Amino acid sequence: MSKKRIGVRRTKKRIYLDHAAATPLDSVIAGEIQKREKNTYGNPSALHKEGLLARELIEQSRALLADGLGISPKEVIFTSGATESNVLAICGVVDTALKQKVTRDNKPHVIVSAIEHASILETCRKLVEENKIEITYVPVLSNGIVDLKVLKDSLKKETVLVSIQYVNNEIGVIQPLKEIAKLIRHHKKSMDSKVFPYFHTDAVQAVNYCDVHVSRLGVDLMTINSGKIYGPKGIGALVIRRGNTVVPQQTGGGQEFGIRSGTENTMGIFGFSSAFKKAQQLREKESTRLRMLRDWYVGELRKHFPNIRFNGDLNARVPNNINITLPGHESEELVLRLDARGIAVSAKSACDSTSGEVSHVIRALYPDADMQSSEGSLRISMGRNTTREELKKSLQALVEASKIMLDTHV
Ligand code: PLP
């Protein structure tokens, strides 16, 4: 369905409901970045004053992030974003296991959930293709939560890594990380292993709404990024708890404690840590506000679309996410019709929104269903500026778009 056929209208004020894909840069942080850029342009590895000023800002920012995460600054490795952090975590742990020959003649075994982000799934697919690892994809129950029994039964002596996301980017479901950490601890004890398997979580979608205190969660590695928390894009971090070794995937000047070479993005790091601090300050208040809006919106959707399906658990999910299926409506067409009415939502994760296929996340929820593209999903993800008035307008637009689609497709 092309935009031409739908006829894009020029609208006055757009309504942005795609915060799971990207958040706008916080205007106060944008101003601070601009102000500081003037005297922190030096290379942070240089010995002169300009270099030292940049280094100082990076280390202050690292300490701020570490403090919020409940870890030591040396455990924060800055990267270019969540994709790089995820690739570093998976390939870095697998390379460590191969180097140390921890599985002897057997291949290292990796466990991931079936609904991970493409940066995890595609990295694992490549490692399998290269014959480097054996993989288990743990299914999810129909509410989107990982099947803990399958996970527990999948752990074996060759398992070197378990990577389970904190919050899913499409359906917003929160995974029980503490319980998973406990299963892994028991397994380690029974194997008499102090180190493997490592537990990694992709916490990109969790920072605005969940507790990300690393020790409380019991994870060894954690991915976070800035572009989903109202900070600048193109900057992220991988948390590596002390005592865990991750083989660098990017070689060069040895920055970031030798784990991630490349000149640091000073302004990105500063903006990221400021955004993280603000997200923590606003977490509870925003969660309460959005939960009320979300629950009201869910009720309204039910009234207008009696056969609507809500994808993913309605309680164990972040408060800004609604994911729906309107039977008989192709989700891409809905997205474009809403866009033409000034409303931005998404059909699935922005990273694979062009394929026209039903998302792997929705398929994983209903493995026995024969899904057509008309069974696709629509993700509505609210943010700091979302108001009830905006949601009312988006609902009206959805009702209008649905009516046209049902009328034209009979
Ligand atoms: N992981 C999750 C859960 C995401 O939602 C995203 C982006 O949508 C990524 C990883 C990739 O993030 P980045 O684009 O910063 O590499």
Q: What does the pLDDT look like over 330-372, one tens digit per residue?
A: 899 999 999 999 999 999 644 455 556 788 999 999 988 877 6
407 CA to centre of ligand 1 in angstroms: 37
What is the pLDDT confidence band of residue 120, given thresholds at 50, 70 and 90?
very high
Q: Looking at 19-28, 57-66, 302-311, 353-362, which range is the least confident one? A: 353-362
Looking at residue 350, what is its pLDDT? 46
Distance from residue 204's CA to the centre of ligand 1 (Å): 6
**What is the CA(350)–ligand 1 centre distance, in A?**
9
Phi/psi of residue 85, nearest 5 degrees: -60, -45
pLDDT given at position 214: 97
Supply the residue whose CA is at minimum distance from atom 7 of ligand 1: 21
Tell me what the mean pLDDT of segment 237-249 comes to. 96
pLDDT at 170 > cutoff 70 = yes
pLDDT of residue 357: 74
What's the gap in Å between 21 CA and the centre of ligand 1?
8
| Protein residue with least CA distance to atom 8, ligand 1 | 21
Spell 346-383 as b/e; 16+ CB within 10 A means b.
bbbbeebbeeeebbbbbebbeeeeeeeebbbbbbbbbb
CA-CA distances (angstroms) from residue 116 to 37, 39, 365, 373, 395?
Answer: 36, 40, 13, 21, 30
- How many CB atoms within 10 Å of residue 326? 24
Q: Which one of 18, 80, 83 would you pick to mutate in the ligand 1 pocket, going by the greatest count of ligand atoms within 8 A of its CB?
A: 83
Query: What is the predicted pLDDT for the residue at 3?
Result: 53
Pocket of ligand 1, candidates 79, 80, 119: which has the most ligand atoms within 8 Å of its Cβ, to mutate?
119
Q: Which residues line ligand 1 (CB under 6 A)?
A: 81-83, 117, 119, 165, 169, 202, 204-205, 225, 227, 236, 349, 351
Average pLDDT, integer, range 72-95: 98
| pLDDT for 63 beyond 80 | yes
Residue 91 above 80 pLDDT? yes
Show the tokens assigned to 96. Answer: 């460590």
pLDDT at 378 over 80: yes
Question: Does residue 34 carry a pLDDT above 70?
Answer: yes
- Which of 91, 124, 210, 351 is catalytic? The answer is 351
What is the best residue among 79, 204, 320 to mutate for testing ligand 1's pocket, by most ligand atoms within 8 Å of CB? 204
pLDDT at residue 370 in the model: 74
221-236 pLDDT, tens per residue?
999 999 999 999 999 9
| Residue closest by Cα to atom 10 of ligand 1 | 82
Average pLDDT, the chain: 94
Fold type of domain 27-278: Aspartate Aminotransferase; domain 2 (3.40.640)
Compute CA distances 101 → 95, 105, 249, 285, 402, whole Å: 10, 8, 18, 48, 57
The pLDDT of residue 274 is above 80:
yes
Given the candidates 3.40.250.10, 3.40.50.11030, 3.20.19.10, 3.90.1150.10, the CATH classification of the domain at 3-25+283-409 is 3.90.1150.10
Residue 112 Rama label (left phi>0; alpha psi -120 to 50; beta): beta
Q: Which atom of ligand 1 is nearest to the CA of 165?
A: 3
**pLDDT at res. 349:** 46
CA distance 328 to 151: 35
CA of residue 402 to ligand 1 center, whole Å: 30
The helix (run of H) or strand (run of E) holding residue 225 is strand 221-225
Closest residue to atom 5 of ligand 1, CA basis: 169
pLDDT score at 2: 53
Q: What pLDDT is recorded for position 254? A: 97
pLDDT bin (cut points 50, 70, 90) of residue 7 is: low
Which residue's CA lies nearest to atom 1 of ligand 1?
117
Going by CA atoms, what residue is nearest to atom 13 of ligand 1?
A: 82
Of 78, 88, 225, 379, best ligand 1 pocket probe by most atoms within 8 Å of the beta carbon: 225
Decide which of 409 and 394 is more confident.
394
Higher pLDDT, 349 or 270: 270
Q: Which ligand 1 atom sits closest to the C-alpha of 167? A: 3
CA of 83 to the centre of ligand 1 (A): 6
**Lowest-confidence region among 1-5, 114-118, 171-175, 337-341:** 1-5
Atom of ligand 1 at shortest range from CA of 81: 15
Residue 371: per-residue pLDDT: 73
The residue ranges of every structural domain in the chain are 3-25+283-409, 27-278
Q: Record the tokens describing residue 203, joined without a space.
A: 């916490």
**Ligand 1 centre distance from Cα of residue 167 (Å):** 11
| Ligand 1 atom having least distance to the Cα of 351 | 8
Average pLDDT on 90-97 reads 98
Q: Give catalytic status of residue 351 as yes or no.
A: yes
What separation in Å is there between the alpha carbon of 206 and the centre of ligand 1? 11
